[in-house]
Amino acid sequence: MSTASSSLPDTDLLRQTIRASGLKVTAPRVAVLRALQRLPHSSAERVFDRVKDELAGTSTQAVYGILAAFTGAGLVRRFDPPGSPALFECRVGDNHHHLVCIRCSAIRDVDCVIGEAPCLEPSDDAGFVILSAEVTFNGLCEQCRTISSTDDNP
Partner DNA sequence: CGTTTATTTTGAACTACTCAAAACAAACCG
Partner DNA sequence: CGGTTTGTTTTGAGTAGTTCAAAATAAACG
Residue ranges binding DNA (CB under 7 A):
19, 23-29, 43-45, 57-62, 64-66, 68-69, 80, 83, 85-86
* Nearer residue to a second copy within complex by CB, 57 or 127: 127
* Nearer residue to DNA within complex by CB, 138 or 146: 138
Q: How far is the CB of 98 from a second copy (least distance, A)?
A: 9
Long-range own/partner contacts, residues 103-111 (CB < 8 A, 24 or more apart): 103/140, 103/141, 103/144, 103/147, 103/148, 103/154, 104/141, 104/143, 104/144, 105/81, 106/141, 106/144, 107/41, 107/81, 108/141, 109/40, 110/137
Closest CA to 54 of 25, 28, 19: 28
Q: How far is the CB of 119 from a second copy (least distance, A)?
A: 6
Choose from a second copy, DNA, none: what does 38 bind? Cβ within 5-8 Å by kind: none
* Nearer residue to DNA within complex by CB, 83 or 115: 83
